[in-house]
Amino acid sequence: MSDLKVLSVVSEIYPLVKTGGLADVAGALPGVLVPLGIETRTLVPGYPAVIASLDKPEAVHRFDHLFGGPARLLAGEAAGLKLFVIDAPHLYDRPGGPYVGGNGKDWPDNAARFAALGAVASGIGLGLVPAFVPDVVHAHDWQAGLAPAYLHYSGGRRPGTVMTIHNIAFQGQFPASIVPMLGLPPHAFSVDGIEYYGTVGYLKAGLQLADRITTVSPGYAGEILQPEGGMGLEGLLNMRRAVLSGILNGLDEDAWNPATDTLIAAQFDIKRLKARAANKVALKKKFALDADPDALLFGVVSRLSWQKGLDLLADSLGTLLGMRAQLVLLGSGDAELAERFVGAARANPGRIGVELGYDEAAAHLIQAGADALLVPSRFEPCGLTQLSALRYGALPVVSRVGGLADTVIDVNEMAKSVGVGTGVQFSPVTGSALQGALTRTGGLWQDRKLWRKLQQNAMATDVSWRHAAVDYAKLFRDVAAERAA
Ligand code: ADP
C-alpha cells in the first residue's frame, strides 16, 4: 500500500518521448518507488506521441485559457506509467522534437510551453485533482523549474518540492519581457526568485525555491559547486548546499538485460559469457567491419555534442587505428562532428563504422558486441551508457568526471591486485589523456584472461535502482514531513 504521493513533472519520459537519459530516469523511477510505498503520477506535455499512447484518457480538468489557448488535463495510463497529460494543442500538438522544430531551432514559444508545465504542476499540487493530491512535487530539469516557483508564490498550504538537475548546461533562460505572461506576483522577478542575471531562469527559479535539490550523482553534486561545473549557478548552489545531494541514477534492468534482450543477436549473462561473441560478429557485420577476431572493438553510443568530448576521439583515431583496433559509432547531433566520423569511416573501411541517427536496436547491439565502450565526456552528470556497458560486459573507458568517476572502477595496479577493476578512467579530459587510455586499454586486451575477469567484474556491478530508490524515498518522506509539520 502506498502512503505517500509524488507528482513527477518532466518534459520527456521513456518509452513515450526520449531525447536522452532524463527520459530513462523519469520512466524508471516511479516503478522502483512502488515497493517503498510511494505512488507516483507523472505530469507530461501532450505531445502527439503521448496523446496517442494514452489508454482510456479521462479529462479531469478544463482550462479556458492556458498560456494562449484552451486546454484539458487528461489522466490515463501508457506503457505502465500513470500519467497526467496537458492536452494543449496550441502548445504541444506539432511535428518535431519536444524542444526543437524541424529547422533544428528551439520552438519560439518554449517559455510558454514549459511555463504551462510548471503552472499545471502547481495546480495539481494545490488540489486541482481531488483524487490525487501529492505530498511532494518532483521537478526535473529546467522545463519543470517553474513548478516549485508557482507553488512557492501560491502562498497557501502546499506540498514539498524537490528540484532535480539532470544537466546544468540546459538552464531555460528567457528575456525579462516574458514576466507578465507567467502570471506570478511582480516580486517573483527578483534575485530571490526567478530572476537570473536580468533574465528569467527556469532552472534557477527551481533551484532557488525548491525545498530540496538533487542531482544524479554524488560526483556531479560536488562539481556543480565549482565555477567550471556550475555554469553560472554555482553561487546559488553554494548558498543552498545544505539542501543539495547527489543520488546516483540506476539502469532500467528490464530494458537493459543481456539475458533477455531481444534486440541483440545472442543473449548471454555472466555465466554464459562465451555466447556474447556472436554479438561481436553480428555487430561487425552490421557495420561492415573486417572479421579480424583479435582486433579490439571499441563502441560509442552518444549524442554528438561538445559535452560528450567526441571531438577528442576524432582527434585520437590515429592512435586507435595504430593499435589495430576498430570502432563503431552510433550518434546523432552536431553535423560537423558527424561529418568528421563519416569521413574517417570512408577513409578506413573495415576499421571504422558509423551510423548517424537514433537507433535503439543498434545501441543495444553495440553494448552487447563491442569489447569496450568509450565515454570521453567533458562533464557527465551521471551517464547511462557506461552503466549499460557494465551490465553487458563492454568495458567502459571513461573520463574521470561526474557520474563516470562514480561508477567505473579504474583497473590500476592496486585494483588489479585485489581483482576489482571494471574499466579505464582517464584525466584530464584531453586528446592526449584519451590516447593514453586507448593505449592502456589495448594493453589490457593483450591479456584475455584478465579481460574476461574484468568483464565479469563489470557485469557483477550493481547498476540497479535499488540504492537510489531508497534514497529518493527517504528524501520525499523527509520533505513531506517537513511541510506537514
Ligand atoms: P545524455 O542524457 O546526456 O544524452 P546519458 O548517457 O545519460 O546521456 O543517456 C543517453 C541515453 O540515450 C542512453 O539510454 C543511450 O543508450 C541513449 N542514446 C544516446 N544516443 C543514442 C542513439 N544515437 N541511438 C540510440 N540511443 C541513444
Hey, how many other C-beta atoms are within 10 angstroms of the C-beta on 37? Answer: 12
For residue 122, the model assigns a pLDDT of 98
Kindly report whether the global pTM for this prediction surpasses the value 0.75.
yes
Distance (angstroms) between ligand 1 centre and the Cα of 402 equals 16
Instruction: Report residue 395 as a C-alpha cell.
Output: 568495458
For residue 484, the model assigns a pLDDT of 85
Cβ atoms of 381 and 247 closer than 8 Å = no
For residue 1, the model assigns a pLDDT of 63
Q: Which atom of ligand 1 is nearest to the CA of 303?
A: 20
| Residue-wise pLDDT tens digits, 262-282 | 999 999 999 999 999 999 999
Q: Which atom of ligand 1 is nearest to the CA of 22?
A: 2
| Residue-wise pLDDT tens digits, 173-217 | 999 999 999 999 999 999 999 999 999 999 999 999 999 999 999
Q: Which atom of ligand 1 is nearest to the CA of 308?
A: 3
Q: Which residue, by CA, sits nearest to atom 26 of ligand 1?
A: 360
Q: Which atom of ligand 1 is nearest to the CA of 302?
A: 20
Distance (angstroms) between ligand 1 centre and the Cα of 356 equals 13
Distance (angstroms) between ligand 1 centre and the Cα of 360 equals 9
Distance (angstroms) between ligand 1 centre and the Cα of 260 equals 20
For residue 468, the model assigns a pLDDT of 97
Q: Which residue, by CA, sits nearest to atom 22 of ligand 1?
A: 358
Q: Which atom of ligand 1 is nearest to the CA of 356?
A: 23
Ligand 1, CB within 6 Å, residue ranges: 20-21, 24, 301-303, 330-332, 358-360, 363, 382-385
Q: Which residues of the chain are under the pLDDT cut of 50? A: none
Q: Which of 10, 257, 301, 408 to mutate to test the pocket of ligand 1 (most atoms within 8 A of CB)?
A: 301
Q: Which atom of ligand 1 is nearest to the CA of 18?
A: 12
Q: Which residue, by CA, sits nearest to atom 9 of ligand 1?
A: 21
Mean pLDDT of the chain, nearest integer? 97
Q: Which of 385, 386, 392 to mutate to test the pocket of ligand 1 (most atoms within 8 A of CB)?
A: 385
